[in-house]
């Protein structure tokens, strides 16, 4: 062992609580639900999320739901690096196809 290794302070391992807090701080989950309130089935439902902070779009997300029958509900989550509470979050259905 070199003198440098002996003189270096030992790192304290992180606790589970610290790792969980760190992980949550990195990723902010925003859940959403899409309900088909129409009378027929739809396919390829595109859902878009847009986070704007101080008038600037800082993050966007997009997901696709393959199939939704009439009355069916599908849920998911968008993951952001920025806290959505610090800005304006818009989630909307951008498009869908009829079978």
Q: List pLDDT tens digits, range 38-93.
A: 989 999 999 999 999 999 999 999 999 999 999 999 999 998 988 898 899 999 99
Within-domain flag for 3: no
Q: Rounded distance, CA 99 to CA 97, Å?
A: 6
Range of the domain at 90: 31-99
Within-domain flag for 85: yes
Total of domains in the chain: 1
DSSP state of 19: H
Within-domain flag for 83: yes
Rg (the chain; Cα; Å): 22
Comparing 93 with 25, the larger pLDDT belongs to 93
Within-domain flag for 14: no
Within-domain flag for 48: yes
Within-domain flag for 12: no
Name the strand (E) or helix (H) holding 5: helix 3-7
Question: What predicted TM-score, i.e. pTM, was given to this entire model?
Answer: 0.71
Within-domain flag for 87: yes
């Amino acid at each position: 062992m070199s003198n440098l290794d002996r003189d270096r302070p030992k790192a304290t391992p992180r606790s589970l609580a610290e790792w969980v807090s760190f992980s949550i701080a990195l990723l902010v989950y925003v859940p959403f639900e899409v309900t088909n309130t129409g009378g027929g089935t739809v396919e390829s439902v595109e859902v878009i999320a847009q986070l704007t902070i101080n008038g600037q779009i800082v993050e966007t997300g997009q997901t696709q739901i393959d199939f939704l029958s009439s009355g069916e509900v599908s849920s998911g989550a968008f993951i952001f690096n920025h806290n959505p509470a610090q800005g304006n979050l818009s989630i909307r259905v951008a498009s869908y196809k009829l079978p």
